Structure 1
Amino acid sequence: MPLFAPRPLFLLMFLACLAIVGGALYMEHVLGQEPCPLCIIQRIEVIAMGLVCLLAAVHNPAGVGRRVYAGLALFIAAAGVATAGRQVYLTTLPADQVPACLPPLDYMLEAFPLWEILSKMLSGTADCAKVDWTLLGLSIPELSLLAFCGLALVALMQLLRRVA
């Protein structure tokens, strides 16, 4: 089975998502980095992407089915690019222009309707603008943006390829 066949690529995308979530959990539970609202949303997007890629690898559809999975993966990756891009933007803002902090998530779930919670989380907070950790000079949001861009490119390749 060639590496660039649809099934191995979907499996590699799933493994990449698994590694990303594993890294996020390591940073949260071992390094003590608390995820901000945008980080939580990105984590959900990575999990959704991983599930779609796992289903595609297991199902191994041809033609239209492969394109449906690739389209779903591309849509999720694009949402991840938008979320990570928003967070990268927030990290570049001066301190006086950063949105205010949100109350804890458990309180918001009790006090606000779901759409308002999502709206507040997607706009980001002061927590989302903090850069506490870097790898090779890149912040966590920048690394996340790169990962989503890479996943989006592979999903686009799967969507546009001619292999049956």
Structure 2
Amino acid sequence: MNRTHNASHESGWSALFLAWLISLVASGGALFVGEIMGQAPCILCWYQRVFMFPLAVILAIAALSADNGIWRYALPLALGGLSIAGYHVLLYYGLIPEGIVPCGQGPSCADAKMTVFGWVPLPVLSFAAFAAITILLHAIRRNTSK
């Protein structure tokens, strides 16, 4: 194995490990808010969990086996979650009319309890996590195609 390939492999593994760590923290945070703090998630939060929870599992397996080809499977999950989180952020900030809101029941993400440190909304954190994972998976893809 030449030195250039080894450095590329190590940077790919670092990006993979970081993507897994982000998905793990996001999944743990979602479980903490729901199970420890007792805040029931809204329907959009549930949909985001559907995309984030499997990422935590498959990225862990890929990191343990140094599988840089994981981007083929993980990137669609990250992009799906990013799309829902982006829509959720637009709803949160009122950039999409309330009439389009997919659910009328359940907790409101605009509630002060749905923020971290009293000012960072959970939908924004979810969007940031999916965006970071997407960027890292693109970096892995770029490294493996060299």
The answer, yes or no, to whether TM exceeds 0.5 is: yes
**In the alignment, is residue 139 of structure 1 matched against residue 140 of structure 2?**
no
Q: Could you tell me how far apart the structure 1 residues matched to 2:13 and 2:64 are?
A: 8
Post-superposition, which runs of at least 4 consecutive aligned residues in structure 1 deviate over 6 A? Answer: none
Any unmatched runs of 5+ in structure 2?
A: 1-5
CA pair 45-128 structure 1, distance change in 2 beyond 3 A: farther
Aligned with 2:141: secondary structure?
helix
**In the alignment, is residue 124 of structure 1 matched against residue 105 of structure 2?**
no
User: Which residue number corresponds to residue 15 of structure 2?
Assistant: 9
Q: TM-score, normalised by structure 2?
A: 0.76
CA pair 128-145 structure 1, distance change in 2 beyond 3 A: farther
**In the alignment, is residue 41 of structure 1 matched against residue 47 of structure 2?**
yes
Say whether the 8 Å CA contact 2:71–2:141 is kept in structure 1: yes
User: Which residue number corresponds to residue 157 of structure 1?
Assistant: 139
Instruction: Tell me by how many angstroms 1:50 deviates.
Output: 1.6
1:48 maps to amino acid:
P
The two structures, once aligned, show a CA RMSD in angstroms of 2.9
Q: TM-score, normalised by structure 1?
A: 0.69
Q: Could you tell me how far apart the structure 2 residues matched to 1:26 and 1:162 are?
A: 35
Instruction: Tell me by how many angstroms 1:125 deviates.
Output: 1.6
2:20 maps to amino acid:
F
Instruction: Tell me by how many angstroms 1:13 deviates.
Output: 1.9
Q: Could you tell me how far apart the structure 2 residues matched to 1:13 and 1:34 are?
A: 26
Report which structure shows greater RCO (CA 8 Å, sep ≥6). Answer: 2
Any unmatched runs of 5+ in structure 1?
A: 100-122
CA pair 162-71 structure 1, distance change in 2 beyond 3 A: closer
Aligned with 2:40: secondary structure?
coil
User: Which residue number corresponds to residue 74 of structure 1?
Assistant: 75
Aligned with 2:41: secondary structure?
coil
